[in-house]
Amino acid sequence: MTSTAELRIAHFSDTHVLSLEGATPREFLNKRATGAVNLAFNRAKQYRVELFEKLLDALVALRPDHTVCTGDLANLALEAEFRRVEEILVARFAPDALTVVPGNHDAYERDATRAARFENHFGAWMPKDLRAGRPGTYPVVRLRPEFAVVGLSTAVPTPAFLATGTVGDTQRAEVARVLSQPELVDKFRLVMLHHPLLPDPSRPLDVMRRLTDAPAVIDTLRAGDPHLIVHGHNHVFLRNRLPGTDVPVIQVASGSRRKAGHMAELNVYRVREARLVGIERHIYDEVQDRFVAHDEWGRTLS
């Protein structure tokens, strides 16, 4: 990327949109039964679709050069949830304005993955540049004159009480192939996925939420030499580095949460000359009923 102009890429994740419209009792004879209990006492109160829509309206008003979403758009991976999110996204994003990958809640049960619900509803924002005719949906690849986005899927159905993710050997090999292509050499290279690459020591049950093949994925990405890696999953802002490199690894907070100390937010990454030069965290302020810009340390920007 030789231009000195600043590139701005927005990032949101983990909106957990709930809709039980048309759901049948049969669809809850599985992991969704435990998920429904969690909803009754926790998620349904904290994760609000109307706040997600406010976030997207604020994001669109910022006019970023591109937007990425790292999954968990749905809550229980029900058809009505994907349909509702698709309506929300279609109203705001052209196919070339947004790139998405799924999270574990988008693959909450096998019926959702068998029906390819995520891909069927959000395929307009899942390009396959450089991959035309190749088998498999992932990785998602978007090429633009100034940047490239490579999106991995970590979304796999898991038993109750587990929220782990896996990339897998086949997808990892394809990611390595894509990142080595000459078309990416002079572009800012962003890699996106849902699950964190690194464990979070502050979470005692992190082993139940981890990326199962993280060491192998880290090795693949180190060899691929990206400029920035972004993810979601843990619902708080966090900055790390790809081990053994200076590549920033950024976790965005939930895009729909309404809880004291954990309000919905989105990130805007400022890039100049293929380098991350700043992060804006746009955090919802209940008193002002709007999203307010902060720096990455949570200080309000003037």
Give the separation between CA 300 and CA 302, rounded to whole angstroms. 7
What pLDDT does 263 receive? 97
Cα angle for residues 194, 101, 222 (degrees, 5° grid)? 60
Asked if residue 246 has pLDDT above 70, the reply is yes
Q: What does the pLDDT look like over 135-177, one tens digit per residue?
A: 889 999 999 999 999 999 999 999 888 899 999 999 999 999 9
SS3 8: strand
User: What would the mean pLDDT of 197-213 be, rounded to a whole number?
Assistant: 89
| Domains, the chain | 7-294 (3.60.21.10)
Strand stretches in the chain, DSSP E: 7-12, 66-69, 98-100, 140-143, 147-151, 188-192, 228-231, 238-241, 248-251, 265-272, 275-285, 290-294
C-alpha distance from residue 239 to each of 82, 150, 236, 252, 253 (Å)? 30, 20, 10, 9, 11
Contact predicate 12/73, CB 8 Å: no
The pTM (predicted TM-score) of the whole model is 0.93
What pLDDT does 1 receive? 45
